[in-house]
């Protein structure tokens, strides 16, 4: 049933958790059918307990479905061979607390039968990529939540997988780590890999996903392309450089001529993520300095984005 373009095909998948005596406790997933295409970033959303982790574990063959079928990388979910081409970041860390980052990477590299030279090289690349170079000799038990997430991700990529499955990759990460994780997901996509992830950080999911699915109590409620799902068909947005009051009044007149009363014309807001990242960057460059609201507003990337290239350069200097 697998077509060339689908990396994952799920059909009528259900999972019932039973208690010790085999009595039905929870139906965690109900008749779920969906496909994940090769090379896409697929976001799985849903409230706590909606079946995201259960679905992921069934994909990996860590849990056995009650009914239904899964094809993943052309194989059955129960076929362990497919796992050589999959990278997995679990919801909870399971790494050995007494190993350091280098030892952890080496351990998992050995599990995948990667040669010693390649293990060292990949470990080095990945540890640097997730920003743990300065902490690579410390035992994982000393790591903060975000650092643990980062080494988990590095470990998930040790086998250079075609399909990467991330269960809440940004949980516990600071905004810089979150941005890096998002950039990394996009980089994996650029390399032609397929990424499936679930997260409660809706803005993050929106930023990186091509398609999303929303689960509610184990049932698929929404499935589609992010751009299409979020498009506001009843509105038009125009962004331009900084307009004078006079120009705004004129624009308003034109809009009214076309029957558009009460149009919203205002300076757009950058998001808090931009402000935070900028503050951290500038603080590193200019220690001991405190920034005023005006300074921050004047150099916000969102404002610069809308302006021409020249004026963006001007504002970057200020
Ligand atoms: N091992 C288990 N035994 C019994 N019930 C379980 C087990 N694991 C999960 N469940 C139940 O299955 C349902 C789905 O859980 P799951 O962990 O898949 O949700 P989730 O969408 O990942 O939630 P979260 O956002 O909190 O991580 C929940 O009702 C949960 O209590
Ligand atoms: Mg979960």
**205-258: pLDDT as tens digits:** 999 999 999 999 999 999 999 988 888 888 888 889 999 999 999 999 999 999
Helix axes 116-129, 145-156, angle to 10 degrees: 140
Gap between the terminal Cα atoms of the chain: 59
pLDDT in tens, 174-214: 888 898 889 989 999 999 999 999 999 888 899 999 999 99
Return the ligand number nearest the Cα of 166. Answer: 2
Q: What is the pLDDT of residue 285?
A: 85
Q: What is the pLDDT of residue 110?
A: 94
- CA 202 to ligand 2 center in whole angstroms: 15
Q: Which pTM does this prediction carry?
A: 0.84
Residue 267 banded pLDDT, cuts 50, 70, 90: confident
pLDDT in tens, 90-108: 988 788 999 999 999 999 9
Return the ligand number nearest the Cα of 48. Answer: 1
What fold characterizes domain 6-230? Rossmann fold (3.40.50)
Ligand 1: list residues with CB < 6 Å. Answer: 17, 25-26, 28, 46, 48-54, 91
Two tokens at 50?
């909606």
- Ligand 1: atom nearest CA of 56 is 18
> What torsion do the CA atoms of 97, 101, 104, 105 make, to the nearest 10 degrees?
160
CA atoms within 13 A on the CB side of 175: 12
Return the ligand number nearest the Cα of 55. Answer: 1
Residue nearest to atom 1 of ligand 1 (CA): 17
In the structure, ligand 2 is a single-atom ion and the residues with CB under 5 Å from it are: 52-53, 91
Residue nearest to atom 15 of ligand 1 (CA): 49
pLDDT in tens, 273-296: 788 888 888 888 888 888 887 777
Handedness of CA 195, 201, 204, 208 (dihedral sign): positive
- Ligand 1: atom nearest CA of 54 is 18
Which of 76, 40, 77, 73 lies closest to 55, judged by CA? 77
Please give the Cα distance from 73 to 61 (Å, whole number). 13
Residue nearest to atom 29 of ligand 1 (CA): 49
Residue nearest to atom 12 of ligand 1 (CA): 28
């Amino acid at each position: 049933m697998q077509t060339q373009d689908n990396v994952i095909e799920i059909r009528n998948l259900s999972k019932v958790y039973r208690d010790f005596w085999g009595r039905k406790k929870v139906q965690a997933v109900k008749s779920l059918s969906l496909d994940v295409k090769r090379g896409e970033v697929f976001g799985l959303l849903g409230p706590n307990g909606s079946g995201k982790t259960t679905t992921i574990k069934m994909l990996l063959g860590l849990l056995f479905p009650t009914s239904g079928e899964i094809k993943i990388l052309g194989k059955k979910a129960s076929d362990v061979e497919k796992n050589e081409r999959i990278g997995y970041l679990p919801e909870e860390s399971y790494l050995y607390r007494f190993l350091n980052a280098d030892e952890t990477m080496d351990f998992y590299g050995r599990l995948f039968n990667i040669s010693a030279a390649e293990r060292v090289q990949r470990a080095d690349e990945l540890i640097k990529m997730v920003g743990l170079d300065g902490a690579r000799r410390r035992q994982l038990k000393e790591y903060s939540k975000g650092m643990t997430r980062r080494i988990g991700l590095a470990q998930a990529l040790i086998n250079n997988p075609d399909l990467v499955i991330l269960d809440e990759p940004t949980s516990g990460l600071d905004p810089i780590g979150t941005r890096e994780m998002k950039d990394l997901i996009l980089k994996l996509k650029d390399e032609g890999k397929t990424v499936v992830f679930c997260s409660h950080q809706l803005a993050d999911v929106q930023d990186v996903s091509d398609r999303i699915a929303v689960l509610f109590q184990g049932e698929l409620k929404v499935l589609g392309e992010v751009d299409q799902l979020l498009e506001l068909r009843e509105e038009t947005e125009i962004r331009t450089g900084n307009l004078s009051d006079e120009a705004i009044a004129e624009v308003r007149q034109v809009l009214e001529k076309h029957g558009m009363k009460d149009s919203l014309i205002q300076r757009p807001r950058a998001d808090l993520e931009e402000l935070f990242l900028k503050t951290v960057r500038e603080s590193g460059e200019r220690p001991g300095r405190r920034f005023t609201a005006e300074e921050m507003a004047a150099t916000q990337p969102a404002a610069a984005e809308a302006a021409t290239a020249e004026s963006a350069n001007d504002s970057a200097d200020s």
